[in-house]
Amino acid sequence: MTGQILWAIFMPILVIIIGLIYMGLARKITARIHNRYGPPFYQNIIDVIKLFSKKDVANHGVMFSLGPVIAVAGMVISLLFIPIGNRPLLSFNGDIIVLLYLLVIAPLGMALGVGEGANPNGAIGIARALTLMLGYEVVLVIAAVAVMIHAGSASFMEIIRQQQGGVAHWFIWPLFLSALATDIALQAILGEKPFDQPIAPHEIASGPMVEYGGKFLGMLQIYHAIAIIVETGIFVNLFLGGGSLVWWFVKSFAVFFVALLINAVMPRFRIGQAFKFYWTYPAAIGLVGLIIVAIT
Amino acid sequence: MAKERPPKGLKGWAQGRSLWILQFCTGCGAVELPPVMTSRYDMERFGITPMATPRQADLLLITGYLTVKTLKRVIRSYEQMGEPKYVIGFGSCTVNGGMYWDSYNTIKRLDLYLPVDLYIAGCMPRPEAIIEAFNRLIEGIKQGKFNGWIRYKENLRWYKRNQAMIMDIRKWSIDKKLAEEVWREVQEERRKIFEQATVPHVYEYAERISEVG
């Protein structure tokens, strides 16, 4: 019990640091693809230190400053439901369904905060984020249902247990279509191109973050760092069979790396196109996968 | 109250290694920035990234001449940035007016209106010069040398007075009371000058010149 409490305190800190390193590596890899040298891999940790050492910045009210806090809190709670390295914290039958609900808290917290900022760019960004969420959540749920039917359980630990015993046992092979649909949805969940409409810096000046600076922006960086681990973690646990601590993060980075390579070479869809795309191709792929699972 | 000092130690190091720029692309300097960003000179290896809004930025780049109308927007952007904040003036236009030295609607010296930390000479400066300037700024910030925003706050009245000489500052300044006061002062002085002036000074001066030579 004591070990679990210590792990619950230590794990979010570890995840924040690793998530920030992921973001730094993302910048480095993108730079190499652009034929640049790129920043050091710990650049985002420096950024967060700098943002938290900045003096007071413009504040538009209570909800404005609570928005990033709700976002980070929502993400940390989601994180507790994800077994990292076979160490479950909040694990019971049905935790996947709870997690799918909890994932919505963070964007809604952001929406409340940005609303008080009263910046039109921020409002457009949030509108786009919620529209896009409507698109990818459907795909994600269809794929998750397929996994749950295949495993006969709605618990992460049970699903991981069934995938033990080598690469051949991973659910990515029997549920290939569902995995493909989830991976396409992951591109939008991670906010990578071609689905980065919510934070399009060239159109709407970084969207929801437009009024946030200094410590608020530092909070949002941490939120993004946790979000990357949570979102890639869902894919790792559902389709790649979890694994020990180091192995888990290696798999998680591999999933992130695929999204990154697509991000580095793609332009951006319009929000309408993105929404239409999600409700046609990945949804169709996911449905076919679901039907195959239901029949066999 | 203790005198404010620029950050040193870990804070100064982090501030220097992670400068987020707000590029105010006026004049011809804007063209020099894409080469600095892209693969040949790549400023991201020093942690310098362009940012979308003043709230997120630490470093304001003034890339060329400023008309009076643009200056107003520049000052508004500068006042929205979070402290610590730094300003770099690009090219001779921001130093002494450059090739616009006799223009009626551009400002000649930027540091009358904003606290400039670093100037880059040239018309326009090459990307090498810009990278050199960034490096000096980073070294200086790590040692706590640059204190532009502190100078701006301590001499706010002087800066606001200079700004009020050329534009209406009352509606958008951060310290509205001070802006109103300074504005009235400047208007009063102007009124007095107009009342005292009977013969145009320029005319007299021109006559004297012709007598001499």
In a shared domain, residues B99 and B169: no
CA atoms within 13 A on the CB side of A271: 17
**Per the CB < 8 Å rule, is B39 touching A205?**
no
Residues of chain B with Cβ-Cβ distance to A53 below 8 Å are 7, 10-11, 14-15
Identify from B20, B23, B40, B44 which residue to disrupt to test chain A contact, counting A C-beta atoms within 10 A and taking the largest count: B44
In a shared domain, residues B190 and B95: no
Confidence of residue B208 (pLDDT cuts 50, 70, 90): low
Identify from A20, A25, A44, A53 which residue to disrupt to test chain B contact, counting B C-beta atoms within 10 A and taking the largest count: A53
In a shared domain, residues B90 and B165: no
Does the model's ipTM exceed the 0.85 cut?
A: no
The CA distance from A89 to A12, in Å, is: 12
Asked whether the predicted pLDDT for residue B177 surpasses 90, the reply is: no
**Per the CB < 8 Å rule, is A36 touching B51?**
no
Among B18, B44, B84, select the one facing A36 at the smallest CB separation: B44
**Per the CB < 8 Å rule, is B56 touching A46?**
no
Distance from CA of B78 to the nearest CA of A (A): 13
* Helices A176-189 and A271-295, packing angle to 10 deg: 150
Residues of chain B with Cβ-Cβ distance to A46 below 8 Å are 14, 17-18, 47
Confidence of residue B213 (pLDDT cuts 50, 70, 90): very low
Q: Which of A57, A66, A51 is nearest to A114 (CA)?
A: A66
Model pLDDT for residues B33-63, shown as the tens digit of each residue: 888 888 888 888 888 988 888 888 889 988 8
In a shared domain, residues B96 and B136: yes
Give the SS3 label for residue A162. helix
Distance from CA of A109 to the nearest CA of B (A): 20
**Per the CB < 8 Å rule, is B11 touching A205?**
no
Q: What's the number of domains chain B is made of?
A: 2
In a shared domain, residues B76 and B147: yes
Contact B64, B89 (CB under 8 A): no
Residues of chain B with Cβ-Cβ distance to A47 below 8 Å are 18, 47
The CA distance from A1 to B31, in Å, is: 61
In a shared domain, residues B107 and B208: no
Distance from CA of A234 to the nearest CA of B (A): 31
Residues 6+ apart with CB under 8 A from B145: B6
**Per the CB < 8 Å rule, is B56 touching A206?**
yes
Cβ-Cβ contacts under 8 Å between A and B: the total is 83
In a shared domain, residues B150 and B165: no
**Per the CB < 8 Å rule, is B47 touching A38?**
no
Lookup: tokens for B67: 């008309």
Among A39, A53, A205, select the one facing B53 at the smallest CB separation: A205
Residue A264 sits at the chain B interface (C-beta within 8 Å): no
**Per the CB < 8 Å rule, is A50 touching B17?**
yes
Contact A278, A136 (CB under 8 A): yes
In a shared domain, residues B148 and B166: no
Among A38, A43, A53, select the one facing B15 at the smallest CB separation: A53
- Least reliable range by pLDDT among A46-60, A95-109, B12-26, B193-207: B193-207
The CA distance from A266 to A255, in Å, is: 17
Range of the domain at B194: 155-213
Distance from CA of A48 to the nearest CA of B (A): 9
Q: Which of A170, A182, A136 is nearest to A276 (CA)?
A: A136
Residues of chain B with Cβ-Cβ distance to A56 below 8 Å are 82
Provide long-range contacts, Cβ within 8 A and 24+ apart, for A125-129: A125/A198, A125/A199, A125/A200, A125/A204, A125/A206, A125/A207, A125/A208, A125/A209, A125/A210, A126/A198, A126/A207, A126/A208, A128/A197, A128/A198, A128/A204, A128/A207, A128/A271, A129/A198, A129/A207, A129/A208
Lookup: tokens for A46: 């420096």
Question: Could you tell me the CATH number of the domain that includes residue B53?
Answer: 3.40.50.12280
Asked whether the predicted pLDDT for residue B197 surpasses 80, the reply is: no
From the number of C-beta atoms within 10 Å of its C-beta (0-12, 13-18, 19+), residue B29 rates as: buried
Residues of chain A with Cβ-Cβ distance to B44 below 8 Å are 27, 31, 36-39
The CA distance from B166 to B77, in Å, is: 18
Range of the domain at A47: 2-295
Q: What's the number of domains chain A is made of?
A: 1
**Per the CB < 8 Å rule, is B55 touching A210?**
yes
**Per the CB < 8 Å rule, is B10 touching A49?**
yes
Contact A199, A126 (CB under 8 A): no
In a shared domain, residues B213 and B129: no
In a shared domain, residues B91 and B173: no
In a shared domain, residues B142 and B163: no
CA distances from A50 to A45, A76, B17, B79, B144 (A): 9, 22, 9, 19, 14
Asked whether the predicted pLDDT for residue B167 surpasses 70, the reply is: yes
User: Would you state the pLDDT for residue A284?
Assistant: 92
The residue of chain B nearest to residue A47, with distances taken between CA atoms, is: B18
In a shared domain, residues B204 and B107: no
Question: How many Cβ atoms sit within 10 Å of the Cβ of residue B196?
Answer: 7
Asked whether the predicted pLDDT for residue B23 surpasses 70, the reply is: yes
Per-residue pLDDT tens listing for chain A (296 residues): 787 888 888 888 989 999 999 999 999 999 999 888 889 989 999 999 999 888 777 777 888 888 888 889 988 888 888 888 777 777 788 888 888 888 888 888 888 888 887 788 888 888 888 888 888 888 989 998 998 888 888 888 888 888 887 777 888 888 888 899 999 999 988 888 888 888 887 788 887 888 888 888 888 899 999 999 998 988 988 888 877 888 888 989 999 999 999 988 888 888 888 899 999 999 999 899 889 888 87
Q: Whole-model pTM?
A: 0.85
